[in-house]
Structure 1
Amino acid sequence: MKWNRTLLICLLLFNLNLYAQDSTTVSKRLKPLIIGGSIVYAGSLIALDQLWYSDYERESFHFFNDNKQWYQLDKLGHFYSSFHISKASYHGLKWAGLEETKSIFWGSMVSVLVMTPIEIFDGFSSEYGASSGDIIANSLGTALFFSQQSAWSEIRIHPKYSFNRTDYPKYRPEVLGSNFSEELIKDYNGQHQWLSFDLSKFNDKLPKWLNIAIGYGGKGMVYANEKDNEENGFNPRRQYFIALDFDFNEYKTRSKIVNTALYFVNMIKLPAPTLEFSDSKFKFHSFYY
C-alpha cells in the first residue's frame, strides 16, 4: 500500500541521516536509541493501523474539513502533542550524545514522523480523511519547540493540558467516553489547553516558580458542530482563561526518578487561581484546573 511505502521511506531517511554524522562523535547510546526507537515506531504504526483503521474500507487519499468541529480543541491537542514529542525526542538525543543543533532538528523531525502517518492513515480511510487543520496544528506545535530551543537554548513558553470531568459524556458515551480514561481523550468539554509563560526567563527578578498561563476550552459540546448542539438543546460556548501557574523545570534533584516525575508534572496545568471569560462575562475561580 502507498502509506506503507511512505512510512518505510521516512524510517530509512531518519536512520540514514542520523548515521551520516562523523562516527567519532556518535555516543554508544545513540545507535541503540535509534534502533530501539525505530522498532517501537514501526510497531506502533502497525498496531495503530490494525486497532483503529482495520474496520473501515480503504479508498483513495482524500481530505476532510473538520476545522470547525469541537471548537478546534482537537487541533490544540495536536499542537500540544507535537510540541512535547519534539521536546522529549530532543532530550533523548541529547542524552545519547548528539550535538545541540542536530538534537533540535532531529527532535523536531521525530514529531513530524510520528504525527504525519496518522494523517496518511486518515486520508486513506473511508471513515475519516486527512485534515488540513491537523497538519497545520502539528506543524505549529513542532515550530514552537524548534524556534524556542534554537533562539533561547531553552523553553520559555510551555503548552500544558488540564482536565476535569463533566456530565456531557452521559449523553453520548460512545463519542465522549464511557469511563474516566476514555473521557480524558474524548470529552473536549473537560479539556483545557494552555500556554504557560515562564516569567523568570524574561525577567530574572521574578520568582523562578512563577508562571502566567493563558487557556482555552469549551462547554456544551455533545456534538461536533455548534448547530447540532443548539438544535439538540445544548448551549455550546467557548471559554478563555488567565491563571497563575507553576514551573518545575528550574528545580533539579539528585534523583533521576524525581526529576523525571517533575518533567511530566510540568506538562500539566496544576490547579490555581483563575479568571475565566465565557458567555460575555468574567468569573473568578479561586481553585481551577
Structure 2
Amino acid sequence: MRKKICYIAFLLVSVSFSQSTFESFLKPSDSLNLSRRNAVVIAESSLAGLTLIGLDRLWYADYPRSKFHTLNDNNEWLQMDKLGHVFTSYQLGRVGANVLNWSGVRKKDQLIYGSTLGFTFLTAVEVMDGFSEEWGFSWGDMIANATGTGLYVGQELLWQEQRIVLKYSFHQTKYAAQRPDKLGDGFFEEFLKDYNGQTYWLSANVHSFFKDSNFPKWLNVAIGYGGDGMLSGENESVNNSMISQNRIRQFYLSLDVDLSRIKTNSRFLRTIFDVFNVIKVPFPALEFTDKNGIKLHGIYF
C-alpha cells in the first residue's frame, strides 16, 4: 500500500514538473533569447524552402514551363481567391510575429521580419506561377498579399493589438460533385478549393473598441463575405459547352468569439486558443444577397 502511495505521489510530482517545464517553454522570453530566435529562423527557412521545392516538384512539374508572364485574374471566382490570399498573408504574418515575440525579439523587428513572412512566402509562390504556362504572375494576388500583411502591421502600429481578426469558415456544397477537378474531391480538397463553401470574416472585438464597457472581452461582431453558384473562375467552355452558373455574392453579419481573449492561466490553452482562432465560431447569422434578400441561418459555418 505504501509503495502504491509512493508511486502515485512520484507520478503526480513528475506530471506537475513536466507541465511546469512545458508552461515555462511556452512563455515568451522577456529579452532576446538567441537559441530560440535561431531555432525560429532555421525552422521557418527550412519549412519555407521545403514547401517551395515540394510545390515545384509535385505541382508545377505537371504543367509546361514558360517565360515569365503576368495574368489578370481579378474577375475570377467573385474575388474569393483574392480573399484567400489576404487571409493567408495575414495569418502567416501573425504567426511570424508571434514566434519572434516568443523569442524575445523587439517589437520593431517582429513587424519587419515576422509579420512580413506571409507576403515574402506568397511572393515566391507568385513568381513560380509566373514561370508556369498554366498560371501566371498576378498583380491582383500581390495586392491581396500586401493587404493581408498591411492589416496586421497597421493594427499593431495603431493599437498595439489585433482588434480586427481575419477568420475562415467552410461548409460543403453541391457544386464540388459537379466539378471535382476544379472544386475538390472529398472534404479536405473541397475545404481548400471549393470557393462556394468558403466564407471569409472580419471579426471585430467589441470590448477593445469600448474599453470601459461591460461587454465580455471575448465577444466579437463579424462581417463575412462568400460566393455561390461558381463552377469555374468565370463563364467558360467545358467540353465544348457552356457551364450554366448562377453566381451570387453573399454578405453575412454574425457574432463570434475571440479565443485569444479568453482568460486562462495555462499557456498551453492560450496556445491552443491562438491556433484555432483562425476559425470563425459557428453562430446564427444574417445573410444578405441582391437576389434573395435577407436570410436567417440558425447556425452558420
| Structure 2 CA distance for aligned equivalents of residues 76 and 57 of structure 1 | 27
State whether structure 2 residue 253 is matched by structure 1 residue 242.
Answer: yes
Max Rg structure: 2
Equivalent residue number for residue 216 of structure 1: 225
- Provide the aligned C-alpha RMSD in A: 1.8
- Cα shift at 1:288: 1.1
Deviation per residue, 1:130-150 (Å, 9 max, x gap): 111110000000000001012
Equivalent residue number for residue 120 of structure 1: 127
Alignment of 1:189-208 (within 5 A): 189-204=196-211, 205=213, 206-208=215-217
Equivalent residue number for residue 9 of structure 1: none
Shift in CA distance, 233/111, structure 1 to aligned 2, threshold 3 Å: closer
State whether structure 2 residue 291 is matched by structure 1 residue 284.
Answer: no
What's the TM-score, normalizing by structure 1? 0.87
State whether structure 2 residue 54 is matched by structure 1 residue 71.
Answer: no
Equivalent residue number for residue 60 of structure 1: 67
Q: Is the 8 A contact 1:215 1:240 kept in 2?
A: yes
Equivalent residue number for residue 232 of structure 1: 243
Equivalent residue number for residue 93 of structure 2: 86
SS at match of 2:261: coil
- Cα shift at 1:215: 0.5
Deviation per residue, 1:73-106 (Å, 9 max, x gap): 0000000000011111001001111101111121
More moved, 261-270 vs 154-163: 261-270
Identity over aligned residues, as a percent? Answer: 41
User: Please, which of 178, 185, 192 is the counterpart of residue 185 of structure 1?
Assistant: 192
Segments ≥4 residues shifted beyond 4 Å = 226-231
Equivalent residue number for residue 269 of structure 2: 258
Equivalent residue number for residue 267 of structure 1: 278
- Cα shift at 1:28: 2.5
| Structure 2 CA distance for aligned equivalents of residues 271 and 36 of structure 1 | 33
| Structure 1 CA distance for aligned equivalents of residues 40 and 115 of structure 2 | 16
2:299 aligned partner, one-letter code:
F
Equivalent residue number for residue 134 of structure 1: 141
| Structure 1 CA distance for aligned equivalents of residues 85 and 278 of structure 2 | 14
2:281 aligned partner, one-letter code:
L
More moved, 249-258 vs 133-142: 249-258
Q: Is the 8 A contact 1:69 1:224 kept in 2?
A: yes
- Cα shift at 1:252: 4.1
| Structure 2 CA distance for aligned equivalents of residues 69 and 98 of structure 1 | 40
| Structure 1 CA distance for aligned equivalents of residues 99 and 32 of structure 2 | 16
State whether structure 2 residue 40 is matched by structure 1 residue 33.
Answer: yes
What's the TM-score, normalizing by structure 2? 0.84
- Cα shift at 1:280: 4.8
Shift in CA distance, 42/233, structure 1 to aligned 2, threshold 3 Å: closer
- Cα shift at 1:56: 1.8
Q: Is the 8 A contact 1:157 1:196 kept in 2?
A: yes
1:257 aligned partner, one-letter code:
F
| Structure 2 CA distance for aligned equivalents of residues 207 and 116 of structure 1 | 39
State whether structure 2 residue 58 is matched by structure 1 residue 47.
Answer: no
Q: Where in structure 2 are there 5+ consecutive unaligned residues?
A: 1-30
Q: Is the 8 A contact 2:235 2:245 kept in 1?
A: no
Q: Is the 8 A contact 2:32 2:103 kept in 1?
A: no
